[in-house]
Structure 1
């Protein structure tokens, strides 16, 4: 057993093909506030609850260090989950679809707070993002 305890996910770094397109998705559509811009690196830090989502431009100084952008047949991440509130699946699905975002129907899934309904959507680079509501009370 390690001599430490994981408290929460601190940040997630996504290498993106178009920084402005991804900023529009995460900041304007999902409401993640811009916490810090590091233009010299091609990086933007966005707030996501208590953690951060860091967007790194593939063609920027930092992004080029990670190699080629993953293609349609392979990704670096299966998905990540953002706990949101309120969770109104029909309204959320409609909002995302109106913005041209691919959305999968919601279903009950297990997460940090237990079983709850969530849906999957896809960011502009094809990363699967799970948007999760509150746990279902037993």
Structure 2
């Protein structure tokens, strides 16, 4: 078994694709409309779907927003330098909601951003598991 993708429902597909590609540097791997179901799927990631876990964005036609609820946490992305990543996200127009620095109960350096729909993305420095 392997983890294939995480799915997020989005209210503006183009705005979300722009955020994940232009701000976070992912590639749009594929996109397809499903007229019979009135939805569009877009798959994005840092590598191909055959060898990597990717992100699936689902746009249900005519739905502009979702209640994120209290159960969802965040997506985590490993980066070489959390401070540089947070600065680059801000420079690209992204929203940092927790500045880079040590986590509150340890020494791992993290930062959090928010996508256009309010989903949180955590950035963790490389080799965090070995620390």
TM-score, length basis structure 1: 0.70
Alignment of 1:34 with 2:32, yes or no, is no
Query: Could you tell me whether the CA contact under 8 Å between 2:16 and 2:115 is conserved in 1?
Result: yes
Alignment of 1:92 with 2:90, yes or no, is no
Q: 1:105 aligns to what? A: 99
Q: Following the alignment from structure 2 to structure 1, what is the Cα–Cα distance between the partners of residues 110 and 41?
A: 29
Query: Could you tell me whether the CA contact under 8 Å between 2:94 and 2:115 is conserved in 1?
Result: yes
In the alignment, structure 1 segments of 5+ residues that lack a partner are 1-5, 110-114
Alignment of 1:131 with 2:123, yes or no, is yes
Provide the aligned length of Structure 1 versus Structure 2: 117
Query: Could you tell me whether the CA contact under 8 Å between 1:117 and 1:134 is conserved in 2?
Result: no
CA RMSD of aligned residues (A): 2.5
- The superposition leaves residues 39-72 of structure 1 with CA deviations (integer Å, 9 ceiling, x where unpaired) of 2241101124511100111326xxx7xxx7216x
TM-score, length basis structure 2: 0.74
Q: 1:77 aligns to what? A: 72
Report the CA distance between 1:101 and its aligned residue: 2.2
